[in-house]
Amino acid sequence: MTVVVTTDGTVYCDRITFLVPIGTAATDLFDGPVHASAFGGDGVWLPETARVQTPGSFAFTCTNSAYYRMGYPLKFVLSGTVNDTAGTATIGIRDNSGDTDEDMTPRAGDVTAAKSAPQFTLTNFYATKPENHSTPISDFNADVKVRLAWESTGTYFRLYQAGDPTPVYEGSGTTWTIDGGLTRDTTFVLAAQQADATLYDSISLTVSDPTLDRLTVGENGLTVGGYTRLADVRFGGGSGDSVGATTVTATENLHAGTATVLGDLSAQHGNVAVTAVTDTFAGVQVKGLANADALLSSYALVAKEFYALTATMNIMGTYPTGPYASGYNFSGTAVATTDGFLVFVINGASQPDLRCFAYARIDFSPTVSVWSQGGTVNSHGRNYNNPSTMTLPIKAGSSFTYTFSNNGDNEVNTVGQLYFFPFGAGQLEANPQQSSSRPGREQTAQTFVRTLENGFGTALPDDTRAALTALLLEL
C-alpha cells in the first residue's frame, strides 16, 4: 500500500504516524508482519522505530527543518501480506502539522482500503524477440527466436501450437522461447489453470519469408510480387490431389524445391532453379539456364545447353557389377534401353610367350562395324601382351550385334568381356548366344579360311583371317 503526501496550500509537517490494523478479520488489512518505508525529501524522513508493531503503529519524523514545508515529492509504502477475508480496513493517519512551522499541532485522519477475493485472470499474451522484451512483435523472419509471455493469476499453463495436440510447453512459468523460430504462419493457444477453472487465450504470428509444405491454389491462380521460397510445388490438371493449371510459367526466374508438373515448366525471361523436377506427361523446356539438383522427364528434356556450373553432374546410372557377356568365344544381339557406353575388353594372354590373337566386334548395321584386336604380339619379343579396349557411345533404343573370337590356331586363348555403362536406370536387353554351344561352326569357319589360304598359296594376315571367320559365323 502506498500513501502519497499532497497539499493544496502552504502546509508544514514534522511527524506522520500510520496505524495499520493487523489480523485475519474483515476489518484488518495485513495478516502478518508489515514493513513501512519513506521515499522522497532526500532521505530526511526516518522511522522512529524499525521494529514491527501490533496492531501496527509506524511513525516517521522529519530530521531537517528545511523540509518541514510540504510540496516536494514524498510517499510512504506499507508492505505486507493482505489477509484472505473480504471487507474494508481503516488505516489511521496521525500527523503534527500547521500553516507555519511555529503553529504545528497534532491532527488525525483515516483512509479505507477495500479487500476482495483474488480474481482468476489471463491477460497480456504477446510475443517479442528474446533480446527486447518491451517491444511486442507479430511478424518475424523465418528461423528467428521468438519469446512468448503472458500475465496470469493461474498456477499452471499449457501452450499449444496449431495442428499439434501435444503442448509445446507446460509448467508454472509465464514465458517460453521458441529457439528454432518459425518457418510459417501459426497460432498458439494458451490454457491457464487455477484449481478446477481454466482460461484460454491465443496469439497468431506471421512469418515474412515462410517455407510452405503444401500450397493449394484455386481457380483464380496465385500471384506473387516478390521472392517466394517453396519447398514442394505441385501443379496438375485434376489428377489425385493436384489442382491448378497444367502449365507453370514464370515471367522472370522460377525457383522451387520440388515441382511436379503435368504440362510445361518454363521461365519466359529468366532461369529455372529447382531441386527436383518430375515431369509426368509433357516435356521440360528451358530457354535460359536450367539449374536442377535432380531433373526427371518421362517424355522429353529439351535444352539448348546442358552443363554443370559449379557442382558435379550426375547422370550415370548404376555401374555394372560384372560383364554383360564374357568368355573365349561368344556373340549375340542386344538393345540398349537408355543412352550409355559399351566397353569391349580384350585381355592379355595368360602366357605372353605363346601365340594369341583375338578380336572384338560391334555391328550397328550391315554397313557400320567397329573392330578391336588384341592378344600377344611376338614381333616385339616374347612376354609381350597386347590387351585392348574399345569404348562406344550408344543411343537408347539402338540394337547391335557383338562378337568375340579367338583365332583357331592360337597356342593360348584370351578372355573377352563386354560391359554396358548406362545413363539413368536402363540396361541392355539381349539374347546372348555363347559360341561354346556351337564349337562345330567355329571350327568349320576356321578350317574354311585355312583352305582358302592353301588354295591361293599365301598366308592371310591375322586380322583378315579373324574377319573372315566372324563373317562366316554370321551366315
Q: For residue 352, give the C-alpha cell.
A: 605372353
pLDDT at 121: 93
Q: How far apart are CA 2 and CA 24, in angstroms?
A: 21
Res. 242: pLDDT tops 60: no
pLDDT at 197: 93
DSSP one-letter string for 53-108: -SS-EEEEEE--GGG-B--S-EEEEEE-PBPS--EEEEEEEEEEEESSTTS-EEEE
Identify the band that residue 204 occupies on the pLDDT scale cut at 50, 70 and 90. very high
Res. 291: pLDDT tops 70: no
State which H helix or E strand residue 284 sits in: strand 284-286
Q: What is the mean pLDDT of residues 174-180?
A: 94
CB atoms within 10 A of CB 426: 16
Nearest to 462 by CA among 363, 373, 369, 394: 373
CB atoms within 10 A of CB 91: 18
Q: How far apart are CA 274 and CA 232, in angstroms?
A: 10
- Percent of the chain topping pLDDT 90: 43
pLDDT tens-place string over residues 90-107: 999 999 999 999 999 999
Q: How far apart are CA 113 and CA 123, in angstroms?
A: 25
- The angle at the Cα of 51, spanning 46 to 57, to the nearest 5 degrees, equals 75
Q: How far apart are CA 176 and CA 444, in angstroms?
A: 90
Res. 287: pLDDT tops 70: no
End-to-end CA distance of the chain: 117
Question: In whole numbers, what is the pLDDT of the chain averaged over residues?
Answer: 81
Q: What is the mean pLDDT of residues 203-226?
A: 76
| Domains of the chain with CATH codes | 2-115 (2.60.40), 122-207 (2.60.40.10), 233-303 (no CATH), 325-473 (2.60.120)
Q: How far apart are CA 37 and CA 79, in angstroms?
A: 9
Identify the band that residue 64 occupies on the pLDDT scale cut at 50, 70 and 90. very high
Identify the band that residue 286 occupies on the pLDDT scale cut at 50, 70 and 90. low
Q: What is the mean pLDDT of residues 128-144?
A: 91
Helix axes 439-456, 462-473, angle to 10 degrees: 130
Amino acid, single-letter form, for residue 447: T
CB atoms within 10 A of CB 268: 12
pLDDT tens-place string over residues 346-404: 998 888 888 888 999 998 877 788 988 888 865 555 567 788 899 999 998 889 999 99
Q: How far apart are CA 221 and CA 242, in angstroms?
A: 13
Q: For residue 14, give the C-alpha cell.
A: 514534522
pLDDT tens-place string over residues 415-472: 999 999 998 777 888 754 434 434 456 667 777 877 887 778 777 776 677 777 767 7
Collapsing DSSP to helix, strand or coil, 34 comes out as coil
| Burial class for 254, CB neighbours closer than 10 Å (0-12, 13-18, 19+) | buried
